[in-house]
Amino acid sequence: MGSLAISRLEALLQTRRLDRTVARSTEAPEARPVASTGLSAVDLQLSGGWRLGEISEIVGTRSSGRTSVLLSTLAAATARGELVALVDVVDRLDVNTASAAGVDLARVLWVRGPSLTIELSRPALVDHAVRQAVRAFDLILRAGGFGVVALDLADVPPRAFAPLPWATWMRLAHANEGRPTAGVLVGQAPMGRSARGVTLALESTRRWTGDSLQARRFAGWDLTHG
């Protein structure tokens, strides 16, 4: 009886051309092309890398490794001979660090936003920079020809992009749908992504050495992802 009801529902959806919204459990999972992050542990977590044709995101606080994952992703793409684009919302990219990470800068379209000190800037300036950056990200996705397109909001407080309507993120997901491009958002907290995109959440904890309080020394960070 249940299968008959499902068949009738699917027939109705097909009539209205909505049948693509039905998930059929009997179908084999669709193999999705991916772009490697260049980090084997992260690729394993992501089942091979960032999914092409979708919008995914890297989220974490400062010193959580989010910039390292981004640069590694860009380096892996340029090593494959691809062009990549980075929309740098508040002009934070250090080209020397990027080059040291293996990014071929000759293959990077770098869209630089205004150099803002977030703590001292007026909210209106930050909000304008975010809107302009999202618009640039959208245009680059639609232009095509890039293996990876990233929107770096890492140093932008979540309140600056929280007012953006959900339709903004849906529009970006639609712009990249079916393209051989990995769209990547970078920020402090989850933003917006396509229904099939993934969120890579990074965390860091301080590591100390020394057996006593007087001998205790900072020894770096331990990074985790999930």
pLDDT of residue 119: 59
pLDDT of residue 55: 95
> CATH classification of 33-201 is 3.40.50.300, yes or no?
yes
Token pair, residue 123, equals: 């909210």
Boundaries of every domain in the chain:
33-201
pLDDT of residue 29: 45
- Secondary structure (DSSP) of 137-202: HHHHHHH---SEEEEE-TTS-HHHHTTS-HHHHHHHHHHHTTSS-EEEEEESS-----TT--EEEE
pLDDT of residue 2: 47
pTM over 0.85: no
CB 197 within 8 A of CB 164: no
What tens-digit pLDDT sequence spans the chain (226 residues)? 445 665 666 666 566 554 444 444 444 445 679 999 999 999 998 999 999 999 999 999 887 889 999 999 999 999 999 999 999 999 999 999 999 999 999 999 999 999 887 655 688 888 899 999 999 999 999 999 999 999 999 988 888 888 888 889 899 999 999 999 999 999 988 887 666 788 898 875 444 455 655 554 533 434 444 4
Provide φ and ψ at 110, rounded to 5°. Answer: -110, 110
Token pair, residue 67, equals: 């910039």
Question: Taking the CB of residue 189, how many other CB atoms lie within 10 A of it?
Answer: 16
